[in-house]
Amino acid sequence: MLGAVVTAAATNNDANTVACEAGVQQLAWTRDRYDGAIIDAESVAHDASTFEVQLEQAERTWKLEKCRGVWLKLPTSHAHLVGVATQRGGFEFHHAEPGYVMLNRWLPEDEPNLMPPGASHQVGIGAVVLNSRGELLVVQERHGPLRGMGVWKVPTGLIHVGENVSDGAVREVEEETGVSGCTFDRVLAVRQAHGFLFGKSDLFFLVALRVNESECKLDSDGRPLLTPQLEELEGCRWIDVSEYAAGQEKAFADRYQRVHESLNRAISTYQQGEYGGLVVDDLMPLPSSSSSVKADDPPRRLQLLLTSAR
């Protein structure tokens, strides 16, 4: 009798589950080129219980369709569903940006997870700007690790998402010092380092810019007029390259000495016309009509192809 009651209860629970699932809108998803599934965020239910049912339905379909990895993008409005996705749905965090969190799940149990990791690097630039007298544009930081040390350095900053290294260097110089009319000339050096913010690695491009003084406001001495960004800087000035190198050598005698020696050598030899660095060989959009471009591909551009100076 007890067995009959248990069986009847199980049957009723199954019927309730089927009835519950029957009234739930299924998750919409598309298959990517790697046999994965990309969930349409617009189809994700706002209610946590309903979302859990959606995931259970979708998981059966994904396994039948032999999908491998699944991508789930939850906007801020659906942040309360993260717990359901991770604790009930088996998803892991991949990355987050303002406005959303991206999660993923690897389905095959007998294969290693081949889904790509989140971004591993940030990209920074240092801008080498020489005026017509051969003087170097330098700044002194109000915040950051060099605050209060009296160190003069070239303008630096991080590249924005989708921004060319060349454009980012021009932007940083104008924002920090007010010098406009700069154009990208060449890359003088590249440095890779690890263990930066949140454990990310860092790619740093030392970039030379040319300043068109005919397009700049000039100070009383005939140099491009400087207007420091006081929220970020204590000041900015034009100095002799040898003075800059001496200041760097003193400031970094106990750390990163070899790195700064290499960067300073690149600046000095460039200023003397003895070093060409890497120049832009080509800068063009990726043809949208190319047969290799699929309809669902994100927009891409060939940003910068660098070759040794001739």
Catalytic residue set? 175
Distance CA 108, CA 5 (A): 38
On the CB side of 244, CA atoms within 13 Å amount to 29
Residue with tokens 């303002």: 98
Q: Where are the beta strands (DSSP E) in the chain?
A: 29-31, 37-39, 69-75, 92-97, 100-106, 121-130, 136-141, 156-158, 182-193, 201-211, 233-239, 278-285, 301-308
Return phi, psi of residue 280, to 5°. Answer: -75, 120
According to DSSP, the β-strands at 37-39 and 278-285 are: unpaired
Burial bucket for residue 172 (CB in 10 Å: 0-12, 13-18, 19+): buried
CA-only gyration radius of the chain, Å: 28
- Is the Cβ–Cβ distance between 87 and 103 less than 8 Å? no
- Helix, coil or strand: residue 198: helix
Tokens, residue 141: 């930081």
- Is the Cβ–Cβ distance between 226 and 176 less than 8 Å? no
- Helix, coil or strand: residue 276: coil
Distance CA 118, CA 195 (A): 15
- Distances in whole angstroms, Cα of residue 204 to Cα of each of 96, 124, 299: 23, 5, 25
Tokens, residue 26: 């299924």
According to DSSP, the β-strands at 301-308 and 278-285 are: antiparallel
